[in-house]
Amino acid sequence: MSEDKHKSFSFRAYAWAQFKKNKPAYFSLWVLGILALIAIFAPIIANDQPLYASYKGHTLFPAFSFKNNYQLQMSDGSTEKVQLDIARWKQMELETVIWAPVPYAPNKSDFYNSDYKSPSGEQFFKDKSGKKVPMPGRFRHRLGTNKKGEDVLSGLIHASRISLTIGIISMGIATIIGLIMGALAGYFGDSKLVTTRGRFWVFIFGLVLAYYYGFMIRGDILADAIGTSGFSILLQLFVSILIFTAVAYLFNLIGKLIGKLPFLNVQTNIPVDSFISRLIEILISIPGMILIISIAAVAKPSIINLMLIIGLTRWTGIARFTRAEFLKIRNLEYIQAGQSLGFSEARIIFKHALPNGVAPAFVAIAFGVAAAILIESSLSFLGVGVPPDVVTWGSLLSSGRQAFQAWWLVIFPGFAIFITVTVYNLLGEGLRDALDPRLKT
């Protein structure tokens, strides 16, 4: 009976059962799901354009339209143009209308409620006749406004997309780098990767040339892409990585041939673990926030740049977890079986070892997302990192510095940051407890 129970044991099912027992972590997973839904459907939840409107006999869906204007054919034969982004929808004679739950968009000023209107204070509205009247309950700024009259609740909802996207994508970059670096350091160590002297030095020279052709020569192209759009920088960065990889691979093949020559065919060990460990120690020794602020202050404000900066500086913890796990995994029987069958080192590392050694890194990833959101909020608060026209939780907090009486500009964004960071931290603790075999009962 016990043998059947042992055979049917699944660590994945066990870990999920242990995770569900941790009520704060399990509740945090649901909260994170709600935050993700808010971020995904932000344009529907908070929008100053109607979700549906009937105007002079025409059925319109402004919030879902991909074009910026409607050309409406009137019954008298005339044509009326309605430009979606500047139309005063709240003052138009709409026969039927369905508003978004929050009928305001970020970065759109309500001049009648500028100069810090509190959530419970007196607010005003311009009716269809053009008169200034007390604000109807349907259109109140529930969380107040800032100096320009921009709705705080709408800004919070749309800023959730920025914070969650930066946190997840930046840690995705850090995860790829950390897993590869940690796997190589843990699997090969300082003595397992053996090659010829000629191949080693040719490959090192090839890396220098690969960096030169992939990034230095294309520096102007990459700089122009940064100033164009996020898609452009990702495309040009991908091209640079392809060039770097192709040149490095070419010199690796050349190194194989040169390594057969006399004197250059001497076997030598490559201290992979020492190289990567020293690189990790260098990055850890530099105060992370100061390093990120310095790079962000030099680079052009961009969400893509910010994600790259955070991702390229936050991979060390993931690499250390992965390295420690690979030091244990590399001596297990299934790794030795793969080596005996003649599998390539790359296949053993990425297909067999990595799936079994990635669990501890999940904890660092969860904590890393929380740290990335805090970094983004801090940089936005200081006015670096993201463009000034992008609403983030940090920029909302920063606007509260200009008027201490506007307490809602501090309380609500601060609470959003607190909730999101706490959720990710609780998830990290839950994963740490669920994935630790020593806690198995």
Q: What is the largest CA-CA distance in the chain?
A: 93
Residue 238: what pLDDT? Answer: 82
- The answer to whether position 4 is within a domain reads no
Q: Final residue of a domain: which of 71, 99, 127? A: 99
Domain count for the chain, please give it: 4
Q: 72 falls in which pLDDT band (50, 70, 90)?
A: confident
Last residue of a domain, one of 216, 247, 269: 269
Examine the domain organization and report whether 439 and 331 are in the same domain. yes
- Quick one: CA dihedral 238, 239, 241, 246, positive or negative? positive
- What pLDDT does 157 receive? 93
pLDDT, tens only, 155-169: 999 999 888 888 888
Q: Number of C-alpha atoms within 13 angstroms, CB side, residue 27?
A: 5
- Kindly state the average pLDDT of the residues 19-28: 88
Instruction: Express each pLDDT in 314-353 by its tens digit.
Output: 899 899 989 988 888 888 888 888 888 888 888 888 888 8
Nearest-5° Cα angle at 306, 305 to 310: 120
Full residue range of the structural domain in which residue 63 is found: 49-99
Do both 128 and 210 map to the same domain? no
Residues 263 and 276 in one domain: no
Q: What kind and span of H or E run contains 122?
A: none
Q: For 181-225, write each residue's pLDDT tens digit.
A: 999 999 888 888 888 888 888 888 888 898 888 877 887 777 676
3-state secondary structure of 134: strand
The reported pLDDT for the residue numbered 101 is 92
Residue 412: per-residue pLDDT: 92
Specify whether 300 is located in the same domain as 163: yes
Query: For the chain, what percent of residues have pLDDT higher than 70?
Result: 93
Residue, of 412 and 214, whose pLDDT is higher: 412
The pLDDT of residue 1 = 44
Average pLDDT, the chain: 83
pLDDT value for 156: 93
Asked whether residue 230 is assigned to any structural domain, the reply reads: yes
Cα distances (angstroms) measured from residue 247 to each of 103, 200, 257: 54, 15, 16
Based on the domain organization, do 343 and 320 belong to the same domain?
yes
- Does a structural domain hold residue 5? no
- Segment 20-40 mean pLDDT: 90
Task: Give domain status of residue 104, yes or no.
Answer: no
In tens, the pLDDT along 252-267 reads 889 888 878 887 788 8
If asked whether residues 181 and 138 sit together in one domain, one would say: no
Among residues 227, 244, 269, the one where a domain terminates is 269
Alpha-carbon 292 to chain mean position: 15
DSSP output for 58-109: EEE-GGG-SSSEEEEEPTTS-EEEEETTT--GGGS--SEEE--SB---TT-B
Of 370, 354, 314, give the one whose Cα is nearest residue 175. 314
pLDDT for the residue numbered 437: 56
